[in-house]
Amino acid sequence: MQRRWGFRVLGSLQVIDDGRIVELRSAKQRVLLAALLMKANAPVSTYELMEHLWGEEPSGAARATLQTYVMRLRQSLDDLADRKLVRTWPTGYSIHVEDDQLDLLTFQRLRAEARRAPDLETEARLLGEAAALWRGPALDQVSSLRMEQTDVQRLNEQRWEVLERRNDAELQLGRHDQVVDELRSLVAEHPLRERFWYQLMLALHRTGQQAQALDVYRRAGEVLADELGIDPNAELRALHMEVLAGSSAPVAVQAGPSWLPPAVGDFSGRADEVARLTAGLRSGGTWTITGPGGVGKTSLAVHCAHVVRDAFPDGQLYLNLRGGEQKPVEPAAALDRLLRGLGVSGGAIPSTVDDRVDLYRDLLSDRRILVVLDNAVNEAQVRPLLPGTTSGAALVTSRAALAGLEAAHVVPLDVLPPSDALALLRAAVGEARCAAEPAAAQQIVTYCGNLPLALRVAAARLVARPHWQLAKLAGRLSDERRRFDELSLGDLDVRASLALSYDGLDESHRAAFRLLSLVDTPDFPAWVASPLLGLDPDDAEDHVEALVDARLVDYAGRDALGQVRYRLHDLLRAFGRETATEDPAVALRPLFEQWLDLAMRADAELPHQGVRLDPVALEPFDLGDAAEWFDAEWQNVHAVINQAAALGLGDLAAELAIRSMAFCDLRARFDDWEQINCLGLSCAPADRRPMLFQQRGILRARMHDYAAASENFQAAQEGFAAAGDVWGEAYAWYGMGWMHEWGGRSAEARSAHREAMTRFAASANRHGEIEVLCSLGAIERRAGGLDAASEYLQRARLIAREMGDEQSELMATLELGRLHQFTGELELSVSLLRSSLAAAQKLGDPDLAANVRLFLADTLVRSGVDAAAEEQLEQAWDFFEAHDDRQGRIWVWRLRSGMAHSADEALRLASLALESAREMGSPPEFGRSLRVFGNALERAGRAREAREQWRLAEETLTAAGFQAEVEELRMATS
């Protein structure tokens, strides 16, 4: 039977076995156990444990030593075999205990139950039970500097907060005598906690011990003056006046209460918000600052309140409504605090909320008082606390939108702009230090996601460690697994701030947040939550909107399809992933399959050249224009391909890469195409590799790397043939024939195209037949067989029209336009090429459109319309430059050389074309460029050199099978 251990941390660390305290003699073992117990039932990262044990710079052997300590701890707890108590995680370790096994868990449960208590008696009892669990300072005699600065301080503060609440409850129940002695001990132990002084003074006053109460006030004043240099707070001062008056009658309101927290010394940025808020507050009314946790709402509110203090001479009230905690401040309690601050004695405060509101607003009437209500939970909590007149002003901060707060002016707050975020870091750390390491400073800002709270924590760590270089902290923050450990210092804790929003959700919404955080996409539409959660789209959208309300997800606008899009801040994404227990590969597969289904259906409606996938039965695409859907979703589709591959879902990654090829081709996204194709080949199942090789060959052809393209098409052909895929093999043969064309090997091109045509016919692929006919028409045009070329192209155009295949008809029309250029029918050529250009633009294919503009410009030059030609060349050039298209640039240089206004300019442009064609290794392009270079030499008066270039051009074009261009050259130079 497994032993049931008990653990105590509320005092000295104790391990209990069957009522007997077991001593852990190793100091490091006690630190390790304490660190695990502080986060019981949750993984603690290896990095955090090492820092607890050895400080911020553990040795290289620390990880192995930690493993030894874990083994020894398991041995001490008789857990070596089962490992059910101390468990191993990919990122660290955890200890698993029930509430009654750990006093801390019992304490936290009692605190939470007390906040929900139905009556004061129950609340007092529960708080008393929680306080009784303490045996001394938390984790006494556990030696860990990090634990002392974080966990110990936090726990001890919770202890005093419980005692303060318990004392308040006992005093409200009239048990003044029962708490006096303990309060005397508490003020002696904690002389700087004004609340304990107030409670002791009130207990003495209520039991008729006025002199002793006045002496308590005197001693409190001396301690606060000596230790902190401050006077007692407004609450103590008001009670002092009540005691002096000797009764519970209302006390005159003090002039000018000032409860504002200290001004933020290094406040920077937010210039627009500060200007709007300060001007607005001076005019009066209610102003709200809304935004997610850690975004700087409180800092902005306090800063603005200090700026406008002169406009509110009758005072500034500040109240933390604790909206992010399990039990926010109730309006009744808030009014009690505010009334006391305005000088009303406790006995004169009405019992009902409505009466308190009336008295509060009566006291504020005609007074210039600013009320700052921080961390509001909702409108109902805020409304009773707002001034009832326009003489004062109210400033409210909240994570909620507070959209229902009547007549309020809303100032939404997001993370800082990059420049302001960097300015905040500089102001806190020092200009010189940031200037010495500008790159590291920028990295820190990036890792902090421009979130002010995270930046302040990072800056505090650097200020506390002046010997650190900024690059050291940047390096530690770069590891997402330990980022939140680095962004925690004292009571500044980014993880805890974000957890407030997360903990307030029900489990289904927490699950939605965790799962969405696992997705690598930069943004997402609401439907993404549907496959993740197994909900219908409407319920999924409701879950996403609930996360927006909780400030865990941001609204990111609408895409071109009209879909609302959402996003997660980088730190929230990291927090969600830290919280998640789901296996990403299992959890995300349904979503990735949904994205693949949409991509497949969209891809089926896109134009394809060089390869079309064997048709499969698919539901119609019903999300609008397929290309526009890909435009809107491309960053997400690209991210999903990468993430699926990283998670071992290679089948999904490869198929999604395949189904994205036509879009990349259509939109000339060659860099993206290269990346996803390489990734697909690295993880694709064997039966999909030939298709990826085929698509890679088309990409290489688009980039004019014909040798590489030929190798890819050959690999595809071999793979398709081995699999018995006649459809795919036909396209591979077509690709090889296409490369023979561009390599000037006309006989080989014809042979390969015949192989392709045979297989297209065998697989009933008429689209493929059209592509082969267009290529054969181009080959015959170049060879001078113009009648045969016309026959091929007219047949291709007729089949395309019969099938309603717009892209295939476009290609046939384009080739006919080029054919009529050679036959001298320039007007008909221009008409056909303009029609092709319009079709390419309609399809949204910028690569094809740019190339059609070249052919159109060539025809316009031949027609003597240079101005119209130059207009087409300018637009084509922009595309070729943006995509580093060498062949396109060569064509533009050649055409502009013929249009140049001077011989020198013609020669310069022809030289550029010739050198680039030589480097490109394409015989047809080199031959054409030799011809134009010869033309430029002749224009420059260098006839002998010109004839030599024309001779070389004729030889090159003849060898390439471009006989029609050879004949044209001979006619032009004879």
What value, to the nearest 5°, has the Cα angle with vertex 724 and ends 718 and 728?
65
pLDDT tens per residue, range 456-502: 888 888 888 888 899 999 999 988 878 888 887 766 778 888 888 88
pLDDT of residue 254: 38
- What CA dihedral angle connects 790, 792, 794 and 796, to 10 degrees? -150
Report CA-CA distances (Å) from 184 to 193, 708, 812, 842. 12, 87, 98, 85
Q: What is the mean pLDDT of residues 305-327?
A: 84
Q: What is the mean pLDDT of residues 672-677?
A: 95
Q: Could you give the 3-state DSSP secondary structure of residue 555? A: strand
Q: What is the mean pLDDT of residues 647-656?
A: 95
DSSP 8-state assignment for residue 784? T
pLDDT of residue 266: 65
Q: What is the mean pLDDT of residues 79-85?
A: 76
Most trustworthy range by pLDDT among 8-17, 241-250, 688-697, 912-921: 688-697
Q: Which of 105-114, 235-244, 268-277, 733-742 has the lowest mean pLDDT?
A: 235-244
pLDDT of residue 570: 83
pLDDT of residue 21: 87
pLDDT of residue 384: 92
Q: Name residue, tokens 């080959």.
A: 779
Report CA-CA distances (Å) from 294 to 150, 261, 781. 18, 17, 69
CA distance 481 to 491: 21
Report CA-CA distances (Å) from 150 to 38, 244, 293, 492, 519. 10, 42, 20, 9, 32
pLDDT of residue 365: 79
DSSP 8-state assignment for residue 140? B
pLDDT of residue 804: 87
532 falls in which pLDDT band (50, 70, 90)? very high
CA distance 477 to 475: 5
Q: What is the DSSP string of 614-662?
A: PP---PPP-SS-HHHHHHHHHHHHHHHHHHHHHTT-HHHHHHHHHTTHH
How far, rounded to the nearest angstrom, does the alpha carbon of residue 19 sit from its chain's CA centroid? 50
Q: What is the mean pLDDT of residues 846-853?
A: 90
Pairing of β 316-320 and β 488-489: unpaired
Token digits for 35?
């660190």
Q: What is the mean pLDDT of residues 296-301?
A: 90
How far, rounded to the nearest angstrom, does the alpha carbon of residue 809 sit from its chain's CA centroid? 43
248 falls in which pLDDT band (50, 70, 90)? very low
Residue, of 691 and 355, whose pLDDT is higher: 691
pLDDT of residue 224: 80
pLDDT of residue 194: 85
pLDDT tens per residue, range 566-576: 999 888 888 89
Q: What is the mean pLDDT of residues 348-372?
A: 86
Token digits for 574?
């990291």
Report CA-CA distances (Å) from 92 to 89, 587, 913. 5, 22, 61
Q: What is the mean pLDDT of residues 775-796?
A: 90
Is the pLDDT at 585 greater than 90? The verdict is: yes
CA distance 289 to 301: 8
CA distance 402 to 404: 5
pLDDT of residue 394: 93
pLDDT of residue 2: 61
CA distance 382 to 375: 10
Is the pLDDT at 252 greater than 60? The verdict is: no
pLDDT of residue 192: 83
Is the pLDDT at 250 greater than 70? The verdict is: no
List CB contacts of 49: < 8 A, sequence separation 6 or more: 32, 35, 36, 66, 92, 93
DSSP 8-state assignment for residue 252? P
pLDDT of residue 130: 93
246 falls in which pLDDT band (50, 70, 90)? low
CA distance 566 to 36: 36
687 falls in which pLDDT band (50, 70, 90)? very high
Q: What is the mean pLDDT of residues 790-798?
A: 93
Tell me the β-bridge partners of 489: 492
Is the pLDDT at 964 greater than 70? The verdict is: yes
Report whether 755 contacts 733 (CB < 8 A).
yes
pLDDT tens per residue, range 743-768: 778 889 999 999 999 999 999 999 89
Is the pLDDT at 263 greater than 80? The verdict is: no
Report whether 98 contacts 53 (CB < 8 A).
no
Whether the full predicted model's pTM is greater than 0.85, yes or no, is: no
Closest Cα to residue 416, out of 269, 237, 573, 607? 269
Q: What is the DSSP string of 879-948?
A: HHHHTT-HHHHHHHHHHHHHH-SSHHHHHHHHHHHHHHHHHHT-HHHHHHHHHHHHHHHHHTT-HHHHHH
Query: What is the residue-averaged pLDDT of the chain?
Result: 87
CA distance 629 to 972: 50
pLDDT of residue 265: 66
CA distance 380 to 384: 8
Residue, of 801 and 249, whose pLDDT is higher: 801
Report CA-CA distances (Å) from 144 to 28, 52, 139, 645. 9, 6, 10, 42
CB count, 10 Å around CB of 810?
Answer: 26
pLDDT tens per residue, range 325-338: 777 889 998 898 88
Q: Name residue, tokens 């805890």.
A: 496
Pairing of β 14-17 and β 5-8: antiparallel
Residue type, 720: F
CA distance 303 to 258: 14
CA distance 652 to 595: 10
Residue type, 855: F
Closest Cα to residue 858, out of 879, 873, 846? 873
Residue type, 640: V
CA distance 835 to 825: 16
Report CA-CA distances (Å) from 517 to 529, 574, 646, 882. 11, 7, 16, 35
Token digits for 914?
């010739």
Tell me the β-bridge partners of 492: 489
pLDDT tens per residue, range 856-914: 999 999 899 999 999 999 999 988 888 888 889 999 999 999 999 999 999 999 999 99
Overall residue count recorded for the chain in this entry: 974
